[in-house]
Amino acid sequence: MAVLAAFHDVNLALASADRLVFLREGRLAGETEPRRPDLDLMESVYGVPWELARTKGGTSVAVPRPDPIIPTAGRGR
């Protein structure tokens, strides 16, 4: 038996699926396993870098990695 489900929440998909298939602009972008998600694939689909983190309970979660803050001279003054 197979079930196809569409998720917009990456972590819900990671927790629920045996296999993840990513689409970009309606086309197959790639697939990965939830136990070892392909962070480069996720970056290519969502346009932001990702990293894996662990909750206090030990659950792995994928989180977008923030861009470094680059100070701009003279801003806010």
Burial class (CB in 10 A: 0-12, 13-18, 19+), 39: middle
Q: How far is CA 56 from CA 37, 59, 60, 70, 72, in A?
A: 20, 8, 10, 31, 36
State yes or no: pLDDT of 75 exceeds 60: no
Across the range 33-57, mean pLDDT stands at 92
- Express each pLDDT in 23-42 by its tens digit: 999 999 999 999 889 999 99
pLDDT of residue 49: 93
9-27 tens-digit pLDDT: 999 999 999 999 999 999 9
Is the separation of the CB atoms in 33 and 19 below 8 Å? yes
pLDDT value at residue 69: 66
